[in-house]
């Protein structure tokens, strides 16, 4: 019986990070023997599986996508430069035809139904898996063709790791959280991605919405800071939840685990992907510094302050609220970097002005909400300041 082969892309391609993200995310769900086979294959860049072993992996990935693919979940853009990505995915059986978009359901169908002979078919590597090739490493990459099995695993990983998509006019930016391929990142992948996809509490703000609120709708905060602050505000919510997710977060922070993942921004505006940045998600040390309860609470209330500010009905109040929110986020960023309380004092002054202005407009629902968020934010700042 012929094996099913998963060949890892070379290190000059983001597709390799996607492949490892997908495989690492299910390692805890499979047998020790199969885990060992995968890890051994990663070391040699070739994973050889029996049909039964591949079925186990595809079933585990399908179950993971069931959790990942909630309403509003973005999927990677498919590009038109060279051999169109849609043409490649259609020939691979991952989408039904060249006119169809990439969807979670289509990928799940491919995991369940593609036969071994189809999985062994060679196809070109699509543009959306070659981001690094068109930046630092264009002349170094050896990547050309791959088997459908390898392409399918990479496509699953691209969906898992895409945490947000920013659109402003014609400009589109994709934000990925990918393992840096170190053993530590692979070991922690399931725990890290569970923070984003295993949450069922409706009170928890989604990472996609948080980043969009801070980076696009709010204004006044740089994109890099907006992404990092949004990530912090998101994981701070996990501290409020009892059970496995909070314990997983503590384990990740204790191991400096976030630093083994790369926050990767890709310009998806044109006909091929362009890498903007790929930097470690350096928040573990910040979460340890902010480990005391009031600082974590402050992060949670800042999220509320931002969302209520951008939704305010009164335009004058809205401008004041957005300005105060942006200043407070920038002040909090400085506080994270320096530990200086002076930056929080600046935020407190702006909040007092916002609260006073909100008192005059209490009849408006979202103004009332923003005022309440400002008061609670100010409360935790005063607790920190002592």
HEC string of 284-343 equals HHHHHHCCCHHHHHHHHHHHHHHHHHHCCCCHHHHHHHHHHHHHHHHHHHHHHHHCCCHH
pLDDT classification of 38: cutoffs 50, 70, 90: very high
The arithmetic mean of pLDDT across residues 35-61, rounded, is 95
The arithmetic mean of pLDDT across residues 338-354, rounded, is 89
Which residue has better confidence, 369 or 202? 369
The string of pLDDT tens digits covering residues 126-170 is: 999 988 755 555 656 666 789 999 999 999 999 999 999 999 889
Domains of the chain, by residue range, sit at 4-199+241-280, 290-385
The arithmetic mean of pLDDT across residues 346-365, rounded, is 82
Tell me if 152 sits within 8 A of 19, measured CB to CB. Answer: no
Closest among 233, 241, 286 to 259, alpha carbons compared: 286
The string of pLDDT tens digits covering residues 98-138 is: 999 999 999 999 999 999 999 999 999 999 998 875 555 56
CA distance 153 to 187: 18
Classify burial at 316, counting beta carbons within 10 Å of its beta carbon; exposed 0-12, middle 13-18, buried 19 or more: exposed
CATH topology of domain 290-385: de novo design (two linked rop proteins) (1.20.1440)
**Token reading at 235:** 């994981």
CA distance 193 to 198: 8
Return the pLDDT at 289: 78
The arithmetic mean of pLDDT across residues 91-103, rounded, is 94
Per-residue pLDDT for 360 more than 80?
no
Residue 135 DSSP label = T
């Amino acid at each position: 019986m012929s094996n099913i082969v998963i060949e890892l892309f070379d290190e000059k391609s983001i597709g390799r990070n996607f492949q490892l993200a997908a495989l690492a995310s299910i390692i805890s769900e499979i047998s020790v023997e199969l885990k060992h086979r995968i890890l051994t294959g990663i070391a040699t860049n070739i994973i050889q599986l029996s049909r039964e072993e591949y079925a186990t992996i595809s079933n585990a990935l399908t179950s993971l996508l069931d959790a990942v693919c909630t309403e509003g979940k973005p999927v990677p853009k498919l590009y038109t430069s060279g051999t169109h990505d849609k043409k490649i995915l259609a020939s691979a059986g991952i989408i039904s035809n060249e006119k169809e978009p990439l969807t979670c359901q289509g990928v799940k169908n491919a995991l369940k139904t593609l036969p071994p002979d189809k999985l062994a078919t060679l196809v070109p590597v699509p543009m959306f898996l070659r981001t690094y090739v068109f930046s630092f490493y264009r002349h170094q990459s050896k990547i050309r063709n791959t088997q459908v099995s390898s392409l399918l695993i990479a496509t699953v990983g691209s969906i898992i790791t895409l945490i947000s998509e920013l659109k402003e006019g014609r400009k589109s930016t994709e934000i990925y959280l990918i393992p840096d391929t170190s053993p530590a990142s692979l070991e922690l992948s399931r725990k890290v991605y569970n923070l984003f996809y295993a949450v069922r509490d409706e009170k928890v703000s989604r990472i996609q919405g948080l980043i969009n609120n801070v980076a696009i709708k709010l204004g006044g905060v740089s994109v890099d800071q907006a992404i990092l602050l949004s990530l912090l505000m998101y994981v701070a919510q996990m501290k409020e939840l009892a059970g496995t997710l909070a314990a997983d977060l503590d384990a990740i922070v204790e191991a400096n685990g976030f630093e083994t993942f790369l926050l990767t921004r890709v310009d998806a505006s044109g006909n091929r992907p362009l890498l903007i940045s790929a930097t470690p998600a350096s928040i573990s040390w910040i979460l340890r510094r902010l480990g005391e309860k009031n600082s974590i609470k402050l992060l949670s209330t800042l999220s509320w302050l931002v969302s209520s500010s951008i939704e305010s009905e009164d335009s004058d109040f809205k401008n004041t609220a957005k300005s105060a929110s942006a200043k407070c986020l920038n002040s909090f960023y400085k506080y994270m970097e320096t530990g200086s309380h002076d930056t929080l004092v600046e935020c407190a002054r702006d909040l007092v002005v916002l609260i006073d202005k909100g008192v005059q407009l209490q009849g408006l629902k979202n103004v009332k909400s923003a005022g309440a968020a400002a008061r609670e934010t100010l409360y935790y700042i005063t607790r920190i300041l002592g």
